[in-house]
Structure 1
Amino acid sequence: MTRLLLLISLIFVSLFPSYLYAQKIELAEIKGTIINKENQPISNVSLVLQTINKKVVRFALSDSTGHFSLDSLPYQKYLIEISMVGYQTYHSDTILFESKTNLNIQLEDSVSNLGEVKVATKKKLFEMLPDKMVMNVENNILAAGNSVYDIIRKAPMVSLDKEQNLLLKAQTPLIYVDDRPTYMSGTQLTEYLKSLPSESIATIEFITNPSSKYDAAGSAGIINIRLKKNKLYGFNGIVNARIGTGRYIKSGGGLNLNYRNGWLNTYMTWNTSYSQSYNALTYNSKIMNNEIASYQDRENYWHPTSTYNNFKGGADFNLNKKDVLSLVVMGYIENTKQITTNTSILCDAKKDPYQYIETKLTGKNKVHNITYNVNYKTNLDSLGSSIVIDADYAKYLQKDSDNNINNFTDPNGVIIRDPYIFKNNRPANIDIKSGKIDYTKYWASKYKLESGLKYSSVNTDNNLVVDSIRNNAWEMDYGRSNHFVYKEDIAAFYSTVSQSYGDLSLQLGLRGEWTRSNANSITIDKVVKRNYFNLFPTLFTTYKINDKNDLNFSYSRRINRPSYESLNPFVRYIDPYTSFVGNPFLKPSFSNSFELRHGFKQFLYTTLSYSHSANIITNTILQDSTTGKVVNSSDNASSRDYLYLNIYASIPIAKWWNSETSLNINYNRSKSSIPDYSYNTHGFGTDINTDHTFSLPKNIKIQTSFRYSFPSVDGLARMKTSYGWDLGVQKQILDKKGTIKIAATNIFAQAAYRAHYIGSGLDINWINRWEARRINVSFVYKFGNQKVKAANSRRTSSSEEQNRVNM
């Protein structure tokens, strides 16, 4: 049956473009070239086609040779408007298109000479596009001194789970950097995002319903982090330094160097940081055994000291007018020393303590990653048709070790049993190989075909060795040691077709992914194999009701595979009564997502979305009522339905005051049939975000942000209220080449996850607090050639060009 569906789908995707082409009627077509006063072509110029009453009909961008093309246009009168930084805006006379019209348009410089071009355009903090929400981090005052992780968690639709993992619309998203997946998850991903400074980021894209061109992984969609790219010619650079303080000091700095000429662009970025932080966990549980209650109260304090180094270097070679070869090497190095102290108090039914457990953990963690990428693109015609070949190799190395000492006393401090002392060594290696080819073809009838193939292979090797002190000597603890090897291969194909019908545009897509995995717990001789194939259709439509109202609808089916970390059946202890363990039997979950968005005058957007997820992966808390031991793990629950309403408005209150406000209302129904962790719960949740920017004289800006989340329900967890207020000030100095920013985050209170887990035999209050109340100071200075040179300007990085043709 699966093969039959695949065959039918492939035939449909192959024949649908031909059908559209056969059905087209003879319409007008216009082509042209945009040049400067030296008769040199200008690339990436925005062209807007309008009716004589200023209604927008079509958008276009000039290619690397300055050419543009507009077709499938009814015979009528049109106007053309062209805008480009460094040039005067061009307004055409009324044009009556013939069947084929050719134009040569020359743009005039906006200044008498091409010296330093001063751009006064103000970017909104958030921009709502048909297929995504874009968060403009560059030049945002509140981003100063913060990490990428800190910035993402402030965005609408984003929340945290009890272990500080990022959630998008209450589900785990896939994290990309410059259109490439990071292949990380859990603690490793969180720490990596905390190591990225906001000064290295241009934008963050929130893609809740990705097209078939993207991997099908991630039920919540994709968060795509776009690094800054320098488009200036000659040699130039940016240097930044930052320092912050909360409970502990943080500091860092970075350097961005770039050299560009007509055929070569080389660049290098490096960021380093030093950080001390903390995580304070309060974990109080009530245990019922034969109607007799007992209590366990825990206070866990994690204090890491870390140094991070992130680097990226590469070169883009414009081999000729059609071909671009790009080489990139990037990676990061993390070194962390940590001290964790934990106090567990065991109490009887009267809440009188009878045992204290004092735990101290000291550990070291080193993570090294390096990724190599080769990208080749050839342009097939002036319409934007292209072939892109991309290959990646990434390697992660981790050395993680810690020593644990557990002391047991009664309420009077008398030792009641021998200390339990053990140490862990957790070396891990991850190898990732990936290659893909993408083909994009435009036709004169204004439809586009995109097809591609991808293959990836992942091999993870984790060898946990636990030693315990027995008879005053270290001995290997075979019962807790574990060697785990996980291999996964994914082969995929996709195809999408796009067509415009006047004010209506349509995109249909289909992606197929075959997955083969092998989870091998070598120590206990347990192997779990999986082999499955799935189809993932997508649908996107955009309708321009009039020049004030736009309507978008999208649908996608997606898969959420277990993280590598969650599949590893190793045991991590907080104390002898509390542990975290992986589950090699986890299965992938699947979701169907629908989204409807209305835009009014490009300042008010309303989004209504619904998703149904089956076999959803959830964090479980399993409690033994007899021994009092608690095991935290992951398992497959039954289903989850999520209804979400977002209202976003960007309102210029005055010339010097702009506001952006987002209201989110959601309804969540979750079901679980997991033994000892079953539930059928539902409830509403609401949160609001509001940002205000004030532009004052003497190049001073003030920005403030406030967010508030009302109580909500997710499974057995009843989340409590959370809120935060940030305030920042920015001033440009040194002839606007330098910018100094001061920002205070979480002025009112600490950031925290606060929840009450109740049901299925559980009664747990969980409060997880981390360091978020801080003051950060940053300084950015630009040096070298800061002049914009328009001649022979073109985009050379593959990610930018792929973004240009997104529908």
Structure 2
Amino acid sequence: MLKKIVFLGCILSAAGSTYAQSVKINGKLQDTNHQAIEYAGVSILRLPDSVRVKGTLTDSLGNFSFSGIAKGKYFIKANFMGYKPYTGKPFNYDGNTTNMGALIMESQASQMLSTVTVVAQKPLIEQQIDKTVLNVENSILSEGNTALELLEKAPGVNVDHDGNVSLKGRSGTSVLINGKLTYLSGRELSNLLKGTNSSSISKIEVMSNPSSKYDAAGNGGIINIVMKKNTATGFNGSVTLNGGSSRKARYDSGATLNFRSEKLNAYGNYTYGYRGETEYLDFSRNFYDNGIASGKPDRTSFQDTKTDEPLHTHNFRAGVDYFLNDKNTLGFLINGNSGKYTHDSKTGNLLLDNTATTVISDALSHNYDKQSWESLTYNLNFVHKFNKEGYEIAADADYSSNSFTSLLNLDTKYKGVTGDYNDRPSFRKGYIPSTTDVYVGKIDYSQPFLKNGKLELGIKSSFVEADNNLSYDTLKNNQWVNDAGSSNYFRYNEQIHAGYLSVNKDLNSFSIQLGLRGEYTQTKGHQITSDSLVNRNYFQLFPSLFLTKAVNKDDKVQFAYSRRIERPGYGDLNPFRVFRDPFLFYQGNPFLKPELTHTLQLSHSIKGKYITAINYNYTKDVMNWVPGQIDSINTTFSTPLNLSSFVNYGISFTASTNITRWWSGSHFANLYRNEYKGNHQQGTLNNSMTSFSFNSQNTLRLGNGFSAEVSGLYHSKVVYGISSQKPFFVISSGIQKSLLNDMAVIKLMVNDIFQSKQLKRTTQYENIDMYTHINLDNRRAMLSFTYRFGNQNIKKRERTTGSEDVTERVKGG
């Protein structure tokens, strides 16, 4: 089947090459000496409302072109530092290729260059045809935050305490960094994003319904975190310092350096971050001897935990692009991150009888888990542009090496008759090493197709090898003895081979994009300790369809459909048992099946500012972390299971407002319903709820280089599997001042001013009757300073790599 898809793509590619080039509007920018102006911004605007239709950059010869422009009346605008803004004369476009000729830009006098006038700035939230973009690069609220915390500010995005990301109430959302996943487990990814400071982030792209060009993984959609890549001609860079405090101190610093010549482009950045954190967790659990959570419980456990969680992270990115000629570019880049994280907690567990007055046991546990990791990703990429405009082929090869180690010590003592915690001591230590190697290769090809059309096709293969060997020892008679019942050795191998074909066609006010992706998956999970082997082989097709109709110059309607898959994370398949204390543990499930989702969305846009979207999603075999209880030993655990189905549907509203000349904002509201169904333990699950979320970002331009931002978000009560979570809200604010001729910025922000993000979750099902309260360390004040130096006239070569479907699923233990 994969061969057929690739063969079909080659036939269509050859057929498409026989058609004429797409009609377009083209021209050239020159100065008064008739020298080309390279990499200048050029826009085409529609009359009579002067709405910007498309924008582009001139190439190294000053040429620019626009395709897919509807018939009508337009004019051209161009801007470039050191030149007066250019505004062209109005012209009528009849749908045929139009050459604007040479457009002349006049140089500004040198004395005028000492001041800079900002004529436009990207809105904080920008709605595009296939995604919503959160432009955080110039946002005050982004400073002092982490990448994980920034995700919460994206429209429709929610991040739970464990770092799991959901979009419009849908779980299974894939998180990419620069178009690729991160080769880390959920825990490790959370630590990486917590250790990535906002100063290195350019924007966050939210795609609720990606096309077939993207990997089929991610039932909840895709979120792409785009890092800054400032590759200007000559030498430039920036430095950033952040400092502040929550319950503990937080600080980070980073630097970016770039150099570009005619043949070479070299870039790199490095950030170091420290995040202190203290959280308070409270659990109350009722136990029933008859196995049904009703009536008066036989025993009740009250558990309280205080954590100290220091995190040190190092992140770097370095790359070089070599321009062989104007048609061929060869690039190499390396991404790296390493870190150390300590979970140091003390937990009290009080167990009372059914009268709630007699103490059965009173335990005090000390959990000290020291984690460290190192991840290195190497990418070699090549791009060839054919002589015919729009014809391009790109190839990527990736290798990623990941290692993770956890050293766990868990000590528990019980209160004796003397009132001291010295009775029945138990000691457990764990050594949890994990290594994961990932190899990925892909080739993408694109070309014009018919008139105002585009054809894209590609192939991709990935290979994953994961090795996890957990060893637990317990102290008996002053000697450490291996705990064979808890220790485990698990190895996992996976290969995925994919091919895709996508065709885009513009027909005046109507456009269509059809895509088909095929993926063959082969997995083998070997639990060596018990000599248990789970093999899976399957082939799936993932179609996608996008239809867009311009009703008039202001209104646009779009319909989108796609089928997607979410495969189990490697650690979720690993039947390791990880203890938080003697009465609470987590355990993977080697028999997890992938979940499959059908996604539909109908949206309406007015002037690109006001967007209404209706969405429906159906997921089969939805994966969900489900709590369970062993009442006989008063123990709770959590494990991932496949529930029968998950249905999510709702309506969302996005609005960009300009209330006054100095007050602008972006707002997002989502009304949705989640419905979970399935069989769990001895019962039938049917848990559903209608929920609401709202996000508002407001920017205030105060003059004299000052600006301020205020943001707010609210999440109502929501269900997740067999649990439900209570509402919460967050209010944040910040102010900034430009300094040193706009080359420096100082910012002060306060996140979660009222410490109102409290996660309160209730679970009542079968014999489970549990309440959880997590008091997050979410309120903090941060002061940041950023200074830019060198040439800031940027030309970017954005690179994504081939590893887009496997990386987030790598597990560390």
TM-score (norm 1): 0.92
Shift in alpha-carbon separation, 1:534–1:691, aligned structure 2, 3 A? same
Shift in alpha-carbon separation, 1:228–1:322, aligned structure 2, 3 A? same
2:618 corresponds to: 612
Instruction: Note if 1:243 corresponds to 2:243.
Output: yes
Separation in structure 2 between the aligned mates of residue 218 and residue 678 of structure 1, nearest angstrom: 27
The alpha-carbon deviation at position 122 of structure 1 amounts to 2.1
Residue type of the alignment partner of 1:796: R
2:805 corresponds to: none
Asked if 2 retains the 8 angstrom alpha-carbon contact of 1:195 and 1:273, the reply is yes
Asked if 2 retains the 8 angstrom alpha-carbon contact of 1:17 and 1:447, the reply is no
Instruction: Note if 1:48 corresponds to 2:47.
Output: no
Separation in structure 2 between the aligned mates of residue 432 and residue 11 of structure 1, nearest angstrom: 27
1:167 corresponds to: 166
The alpha-carbon deviation at position 246 of structure 1 amounts to 1.2
2:806 corresponds to: none
More divergent stretch after superposition (406-415 vs 619-628): 406-415
Listed as ranges, the matches of 1:653-732 within 5 Å are: 653-676=659-682, 678-732=684-738
The alpha-carbon deviation at position 41 of structure 1 amounts to 5.4
Shift in alpha-carbon separation, 1:586–1:77, aligned structure 2, 3 A? closer
Asked if 1 retains the 8 angstrom alpha-carbon contact of 2:74 and 2:93, the reply is no
Shift in alpha-carbon separation, 1:298–1:64, aligned structure 2, 3 A? farther
Listed as ranges, the matches of 1:435-584 within 5 Å are: 435-443=441-449, 445-584=451-590
Separation in structure 2 between the aligned mates of residue 178 and residue 137 of structure 1, nearest angstrom: 15
1:190-249 deviation line (CA, Å, top 9, x unaligned): 011001100000001011111111111010111101111214322111011111111100
Shift in alpha-carbon separation, 1:395–1:683, aligned structure 2, 3 A? same
Aligned counterpart for 2:87 among listed residues 87, 90, 102:
90
Residue type of the alignment partner of 2:222: I
More divergent stretch after superposition (166-175 vs 581-590): 166-175
Separation in structure 1 between the aligned mates of residue 685 and residue 251 of structure 2, nearest angstrom: 45
Separation in structure 2 between the aligned mates of residue 10 and residue 189 of structure 1, nearest angstrom: 34
1:757 corresponds to: 763
2:346 corresponds to: 341
More divergent stretch after superposition (359-368 vs 194-203): 359-368
Listed as ranges, the matches of 1:118-197 within 5 Å are: 118-161=117-160, 163-169=162-168, 170-197=170-197
Shift in alpha-carbon separation, 1:348–1:298, aligned structure 2, 3 A? same
Identical counterparts, % of pairs: 30
The alpha-carbon deviation at position 563 of structure 1 amounts to 0.8
The alpha-carbon deviation at position 601 of structure 1 amounts to 1.7
Task: Show structure 1 runs of 5+ residues with no match.
Answer: 801-807
Aligned counterpart for 1:104 among listed residues 87, 95, 101:
101
Separation in structure 1 between the aligned mates of residue 298 and residue 334 of structure 2, nearest angstrom: 58
Shift in alpha-carbon separation, 1:308–1:72, aligned structure 2, 3 A? closer
- Across the aligned residues of Structure 1 and Structure 2, the Cα RMSD in angstroms comes to 2.7
Separation in structure 2 between the aligned mates of residue 77 and residue 404 of structure 1, nearest angstrom: 72
The alpha-carbon deviation at position 759 of structure 1 amounts to 2.1
Asked if 1 retains the 8 angstrom alpha-carbon contact of 2:200 and 2:228, the reply is yes
1:387 corresponds to: 393
The alpha-carbon deviation at position 623 of structure 1 amounts to 1.2
Shift in alpha-carbon separation, 1:62–1:609, aligned structure 2, 3 A? farther
1:362-383 deviation line (CA, Å, top 9, x unaligned): 2321111111111110111453
More divergent stretch after superposition (676-685 vs 472-481): 676-685
Separation in structure 2 between the aligned mates of residue 41 and residue 228 of structure 1, nearest angstrom: 24
Greater relative contact order (Cα < 8 A, sep 6+): 2
Aligned counterpart for 2:311 among listed residues 300, 306, 312:
306
Residue type of the alignment partner of 2:240: N
Separation in structure 2 between the aligned mates of residue 555 and residue 361 of structure 1, nearest angstrom: 47
2:222 corresponds to: 222
Asked if 2 retains the 8 angstrom alpha-carbon contact of 1:724 and 1:746, the reply is yes
Matched residues, number: 790
Shift in alpha-carbon separation, 1:364–1:73, aligned structure 2, 3 A? closer
Separation in structure 1 between the aligned mates of residue 403 and residue 21 of structure 2, nearest angstrom: 60
Shift in alpha-carbon separation, 1:55–1:704, aligned structure 2, 3 A? closer
Task: Describe the SS at the equivalent of 2:183.
Answer: coil
Task: Describe the SS at the equivalent of 2:209.
Answer: coil
Task: Describe the SS at the equivalent of 2:187.
Answer: helix
1:143-182 deviation line (CA, Å, top 9, x unaligned): 1111111111232211233534222233121111111121
Task: Describe the SS at the equivalent of 2:781.
Answer: strand
Residue type of the alignment partner of 2:140: I
The alpha-carbon deviation at position 599 of structure 1 amounts to 1.2
Task: Describe the SS at the equivalent of 2:348.
Answer: strand
Asked if 1 retains the 8 angstrom alpha-carbon contact of 2:154 and 2:204, the reply is no
Shift in alpha-carbon separation, 1:693–1:73, aligned structure 2, 3 A? closer
Separation in structure 1 between the aligned mates of residue 47 and residue 20 of structure 2, nearest angstrom: 20
1:552-593 deviation line (CA, Å, top 9, x unaligned): 221111000111121111111122221110111111000011
2:282 corresponds to: 282
The alpha-carbon deviation at position 670 of structure 1 amounts to 1.0
2:381 corresponds to: 375
Shift in alpha-carbon separation, 1:663–1:307, aligned structure 2, 3 A? same
Asked if 2 retains the 8 angstrom alpha-carbon contact of 1:751 and 1:772, the reply is yes
Separation in structure 1 between the aligned mates of residue 797 and residue 159 of structure 2, nearest angstrom: 37
Residue type of the alignment partner of 2:246: G
Listed as ranges, the matches of 1:406-417 within 5 Å are: 406-409=412-415, 413=419
TM-score (norm 2): 0.92
The alpha-carbon deviation at position 46 of structure 1 amounts to 3.7
Asked if 2 retains the 8 angstrom alpha-carbon contact of 1:672 and 1:679, the reply is yes
The alpha-carbon deviation at position 354 of structure 1 amounts to 1.6
Asked if 2 retains the 8 angstrom alpha-carbon contact of 1:272 and 1:308, the reply is yes
Task: Describe the SS at the equivalent of 1:474.
Answer: strand
Task: Describe the SS at the equivalent of 2:572.
Answer: helix
Residue type of the alignment partner of 1:315: V
Asked if 2 retains the 8 angstrom alpha-carbon contact of 1:612 and 1:639, the reply is yes
Residue type of the alignment partner of 2:441: G
Task: Describe the SS at the equivalent of 1:121.
Answer: coil
Residue type of the alignment partner of 2:160: D
The alpha-carbon deviation at position 644 of structure 1 amounts to 2.4
Task: Describe the SS at the equivalent of 1:592.
Answer: strand
More divergent stretch after superposition (481-490 vs 43-52): 43-52
Listed as ranges, the matches of 1:266-277 within 5 Å are: 266-277=266-277
